[in-house]
Amino acid sequence: MNNTLRTRMAGGLTTAAGAAFALTLAAGSATAAGSYASWEFDDKGAMGTWTFTMSVSDPTPNVGDEIIITNSMAHTKIDRYIYKVKQVVPQCLELVDATSSNTIASTDNNTGKADSNVVVNAPGGGWRIAGDSKNPVTVSVTYKVTNACAIGKQQDAVMHISGLGTNIGEQNFDDHPVSFTVSKGSGSIGGGNGGGSGSLDTGSLDAFLP
CA distance 29 to 31: 6
Amino acid letter, 43: D
State the chain's mean pLDDT as an integer: 79
Q: What is the pTM of this model?
A: 0.73
Question: Residue 1: what pLDDT?
Answer: 56
Question: Residue 169: what pLDDT?
Answer: 77
User: In the chain, where are the structural domains located?
Assistant: 32-181
Sign of CA dihedral 77, 78, 79, 80: negative
Q: What is the mean pLDDT of residues 123-147?
A: 93
pLDDT tens per residue across span 42-73: 877 667 889 999 999 999 999 999 999 999 99
CA distance 163 to 169: 5
**Residue, of 28 and 190, whose pLDDT is higher:** 190
Q: Are 73 and 129 in contact (CB under 8 A)?
A: yes
CATH of domain 32-181: 2.60.40.2260
Q: Are 161 and 167 in contact (CB under 8 A)?
A: no
